[in-house]
Structure 1
Amino acid sequence: MDANLTKQSNFDAIIIGGGACGLMCAVQAGFLGKKTLIIERNNRLGAKILISGGGRCNYTNLHTSAQQFLSGNTHFSKSALSQWTVDDTIGFFETYGIYGQEKTLGQLFPTTNKAKDIVDVFSSLCDDLQQTVWLDTEVTSIQKEGDQFIVAYQGNRGKGALRVPKVVIASGGLPVQKLGASDFGLRTGRAFGLNVVKPMPALVPLTITGKDQSWYEQLSGNSIFCRVWNDRISFEENILFTHWGLSGPAVLQISSYWQAGEVFYIDMLPHQRMSNVIAAEKVSNPKKMLLNLLATLFTRKFAEALSGSLPVQKNISSLSKVDVELVEQLIHQFKVKPAGDKGYDKAEVMRGGIDTAELSSKTLEAKKVSGLYFGGECVDVTGWLGGYNFQWAWACGFVIAQQI
C-alpha cells in the first residue's frame, strides 16, 4: 500500500460488515465511549436483516442454548451466549421501542412485523453515538505492522488505507451473493494463518433428481407436518414438496446435519401410529378405502401420489397384515436420499468458517493475531432455524465490543 494513501485513524476499531454482528458491536462500543468505523460493501446497512423472516425478522429465540448450534466445538458458543443472553436482546430492543411477539417454537418477531424497524434502531444509535458508517466501500486487504493494522479500502470514497489498533471481521458468510455475501472473512482468516472449517450451505432446501424427481414434482406445493430425522438429530415441523425436491422448516433444519450421499427419514404422522389408525377404522368404517383414509390424514393429492407404493384402492377391512406393515413403514419411515442442495443463494446461513480453536471463546479474538476479532456467521458456529443465528450475532457483537 502506498504510504501516501495510508492515514492514521482516530478509530478504536474498524468493523468490517454492517450486518447484525457489526451493528451490535458498533453500538455497544459506542456505549463504552469507543469510536468505530463500519465499512459495508452494500449501499445500505443490515441487508440480510431486512429480508430475514420474510421481511419480518425473527430476531431471537426464547429457547436459545448452546445445544441449538453446530460447531467443531459444541461448547464454544456458551461463553458469548452467557455474556449476552436472550433477555439482554429482548431488553435492548424494548428500550428502543421494539417489542417481541412469540410465534412457533420460541421464535420472537417484532410486533410491527417489520425487519426495517430492527435496522432503524441501529442506524439511529450509530448516529447518536457518533459511530462512523461507510457504505458502498469494500476492504481490499488487511495487513498488520507492529500493534497496528493497515486496512485498505476502495469505494465511493476512492482508494486509501487506515491505520487502526483493532479490526473486527463481521462480514458474514457465503449466502446470499445478491446481498453482498463473500468469502472475505474466510480469506482474511487464512491470510493470517488461521484454520478454516470447510464452508457449506446450511438451512438450505434439498434437491431430488433421477427416477424420483417426477414424484416430488407432482406434489409441489403440498405441505405436511412431520418428524424428520437421521442418526444424529430429529426435528418436528412442516416439510414442503417442491418441483425440485423438498423445503420447509423441517427440511431446512435437517439439511445442516446432512452430508452428500446420506439418507434421512420422514415420519409423516409423528403423533399417531398408522397401524392404530387403521385398526380403529376397521371397527368404525371397514368399507372405507385406504385412499380415502389417507386423504383425511394428509392432502388428497399426497394420498393419490402413494398409489404406486401402497394398495390405496383396497377397503380397510381387506388390508392384510403385510399391507398394514407396508403402510406403517412408508408413512413412518419415508426414506429420502437427496441429490444435493440448492446452494448458497437459497441457504439461510453457512456452516463451517473460522475454526473455533483459533479464537478465544471469551473474547472472540484470534489467538495468533492480537487485536483481530471474528464474529457472527463467518465463525464455525451455526444455529438452527428460528432466530438462533441472530442471537449468536448479537452476542458476538456485544462480546467483541467489550474488548475494543
Structure 2
Amino acid sequence: MSTNLTKQTHFDAIIIGAGACGLMCAVQAGYLGKRVLVLEKNEQPGAKILISGGGRCNYTNLYASAQQFISQNEHFCKSAFAQWSVEDTISFFETYGITGHEKTLGQLFPVSNKAKDVVQVFTGLCEDFGQEIWCGTEVTDVISADNGFEISVIRNGRNVSLTTEKVVVAAGGLPIPKMGATDLGLRIARKFGLKITETAPALVPLTITGKDQPWYEQLSGNSIFCRVWNDRISFEENILFTHWGLSGPAILQISSYWRPGEFIYIDLLPHQDIVDLIQQEREVNGKKMLLNFMSGLFTRKFAEALSDKLPSDKNLASLTKTELENIGALIHEFKVKPAGDKGYDKAEVMRGGVSADELSSKTLEAKKVPGLFFGGECVDVTGWLGGYNFQWAWASGFVIAQNI
C-alpha cells in the first residue's frame, strides 16, 4: 500500500528530466554552487543520449545557428546560443576528455564513438557537485504552492510530495514512447495556462501508400544522393528507399518542413544536367540504349525501376525533344506526395511545444509563472538533423542554470 510523504526540499530547484537539457542544467547549477534534484522516469539518466547517432552521440554541429531551427518565433533561440555557443560545447566536453571528430556537414561525434562517455561526463559531475538524480521516479503532477511549487511523484512504489521554489521542465518530447517519452512537459505547461504550438513528429521517415507503394518497395535498400526540396527549403543528402516509403538524411530533414497533403520534389542528379549528359553521350554513341545509359548514372536496379517512367527501350539518338524534356523533369523534379509519416516511434524529435511567446528568451522562465522554466525538446525550438538539437539542449540547460 502506498503512503503519502511530504518532503520540504533543501534544493535550489527541482529538474524534471535527466536528458541532455536536464543534465546540463544540473551540472551548470553545480558550478554556481546551487544544489538541484533531478527526477527521471527511466532507470538510468541520459536514455535518449545513449541511443543517439546509433549509440555514438552526434553531440553538436560546427555550423549550428538560429537558422537551422524551426520555431513560431525564429529569433527566440538566438539569446540562448549567444550565451552558450558551439565553441562552449566543444570546450566543455574537451575539458572532460571528450574530443570531437567531424563526420559530415559539421556533425561532431566523440572520438571514442561512445554515447555513454557523454552521459558519464554529466553523471560524474553531478556526483562531484552533490546533485541528486532520482531515477525510476515518475512525476504525476506539479501545482502551485506557498513559496513555489509542489511536485507529486511515485518513487519506489510510494507517493511522495516534494516542495521547491523553482521547477525546471526538461521532460523531452513525444518521440520514442518505448523509451518512456510522454507529454508530461506539455501537460505541465497547459496546467499553468501556457500556450502550446501544435506538435508533430519531426526528422521522421515519410510513407507512401496506394498504387505507388510497390514502386518504392521494389527499391527498398537503395540509397541515392539527391537534392530534396519544397517551397520552404531544400537539402542535399542521401535518400533511402524503404518498403513503406522514403527515409535517409535528406528525407528526415525535409519532413520537419512538410505538411500532410503537400508534395516534395527530388533532384535525383544534383549538380548535373541529365539532358546535357544524354546529348554528350549520343554524339559519341547514339546507339546506346537509354536503360544502359541510366545504369551508368544509377544502380541497375534503380535504372530499371525508372524504366517504368521512361522510354528506356529506345537508343539515345532516337529520343525526341519532348522525351528529353520529360526525362529532365523526371530526374530533376521527381514528384512525391507522401501519405504520412512513421510517427513518434520513428521520429528523432518533436516539432512544436511550449510556445516561445510564453517564455523569456533570456532566461527561459515562464513569463506568467515565476520560478517555472522550460528547456530542451518540450519547447517550440526544433533543429535540423546532425547535432543541432543537442546544441539547443545544452544551451537551454546552461541558460536555465544561470537563473534558478
What TM-score, normalized by structure 2, do the two folds share?
Answer: 0.98
Instruction: Name the residue aligned to 1:19.
Output: 19
Alignment deviations for residues 236-255 of structure 1 (CA, whole Å, 9 cap, x no partner):
00000000000000000000
Instruction: Name the residue aligned to 1:64.
Output: 64
CA distance change for structure 1 residues 46 and 4 in 2, over 3 Å: closer, same or farther? closer
Cα distance, 1:322 vs structure 2 = 1.0
CA distance change for structure 1 residues 15 and 45 in 2, over 3 Å: closer, same or farther? same
Cα distance, 1:284 vs structure 2 = 2.0
- Are 1:331 and 2:331 counterparts? yes
Instruction: Name the residue aligned to 1:369.
Output: 369
Aligned counterparts of 2:155 and 2:291: Cα–Cα separation in 1 = 62
Aligned counterparts of 1:353 and 1:332: Cα–Cα separation in 2 = 36
- Are 1:277 and 2:263 counterparts? no
Cα distance, 1:306 vs structure 2 = 1.1
Aligned counterparts of 1:87 and 1:67: Cα–Cα separation in 2 = 17
- Are 1:93 and 2:93 counterparts? yes
Residue 201 of structure 1: SS of its match in structure 2?
strand
Indicate conservation of the 8 Å contact 1:61/1:391, yes or no: yes
Cα distance, 1:157 vs structure 2 = 6.3
Count of residue correspondences:
403
Q: Match of 1:181, as an amino acid? A: A
Aligned counterparts of 1:148 and 1:308: Cα–Cα separation in 2 = 66
- Are 1:122 and 2:122 counterparts? yes
Aligned counterparts of 1:265 and 1:288: Cα–Cα separation in 2 = 29
Structure 2 unmatched ranges of 5 or more:
none
Runs of 4+ in 1 over 3 A off after TM superposition: none
Q: In terms of mean alpha carbon deviation, does 29-38 or 137-146 score higher? A: 137-146
Residue 104 of structure 1: SS of its match in structure 2?
coil
- Are 1:257 and 2:257 counterparts? yes
Residues 73-222 of structure 1 mapped to structure 2, 5 A cutoff: 73-156=73-156, 158-222=158-222
Q: Match of 2:375, as an amino acid? A: G
Alignment deviations for residues 141-188 of structure 1 (CA, whole Å, 9 cap, x no partner):
111123211111102262111111100000000001111100000000
Q: Match of 2:232, as an amino acid? A: R
Indicate conservation of the 8 Å contact 2:228/2:251, yes or no: yes
Instruction: Name the residue aligned to 2:347.
Output: 347
Q: Match of 1:353, as an amino acid? A: G
Indicate conservation of the 8 Å contact 1:28/1:398, yes or no: yes
Alignment deviations for residues 169-226 of structure 1 (CA, whole Å, 9 cap, x no partner):
0000000111110000000000000000111000000000000000000000000000
What TM-score, normalized by structure 1, do the two folds share?
Answer: 0.98
Aligned counterparts of 1:254 and 1:286: Cα–Cα separation in 2 = 38
Indicate conservation of the 8 Å contact 2:4/2:159, yes or no: no
Instruction: Name the residue aligned to 1:35.
Output: 35
Q: Match of 2:396, as an amino acid? A: C
CA distance change for structure 1 residues 314 and 57 in 2, over 3 Å: closer, same or farther? same
Cα distance, 1:282 vs structure 2 = 1.1
- Are 1:236 and 2:236 counterparts? yes
Residue 297 of structure 1: SS of its match in structure 2?
coil
Alignment deviations for residues 32-51 of structure 1 (CA, whole Å, 9 cap, x no partner):
00000000000011100001
Residue 254 of structure 2: SS of its match in structure 1?
helix
Indicate conservation of the 8 Å contact 1:137/1:157, yes or no: no
Aligned counterparts of 1:143 and 1:84: Cα–Cα separation in 2 = 31
Alignment deviations for residues 343-401 of structure 1 (CA, whole Å, 9 cap, x no partner):
00100000010000000000000001000000000000000000000000000000000
Q: Match of 2:286, as an amino acid? A: P
Q: Match of 1:236, as an amino acid? A: E
Residue 105 of structure 2: SS of its match in structure 1?
helix
Aligned counterparts of 1:303 and 1:147: Cα–Cα separation in 2 = 68
Aligned counterparts of 2:397 and 2:47: Cα–Cα separation in 1 = 17
Indicate conservation of the 8 Å contact 2:3/2:159, yes or no: no
C-alpha RMSD over aligned residues: 1.1
Instruction: Name the residue aligned to 1:290.
Output: 290
Cα distance, 1:283 vs structure 2 = 1.5
Instruction: Name the residue aligned to 2:248.
Output: 248
Q: In terms of mean alpha carbon deviation, does 152-161 or 309-318 score higher? A: 152-161
Aligned counterparts of 1:288 and 1:94: Cα–Cα separation in 2 = 56
Cα distance, 1:288 vs structure 2 = 1.3
Structure 1 unmatched ranges of 5 or more:
none
Q: Match of 1:254, as an amino acid? A: I
Aligned counterparts of 1:71 and 1:78: Cα–Cα separation in 2 = 12
Aligned counterparts of 1:298 and 1:155: Cα–Cα separation in 2 = 56
Residue 153 of structure 1: SS of its match in structure 2?
strand
CA distance change for structure 1 residues 208 and 145 in 2, over 3 Å: closer, same or farther? same
Q: Match of 1:198, as an amino acid? A: E
Aligned counterparts of 1:65 and 1:317: Cα–Cα separation in 2 = 50
Indicate conservation of the 8 Å contact 1:6/1:150, yes or no: no
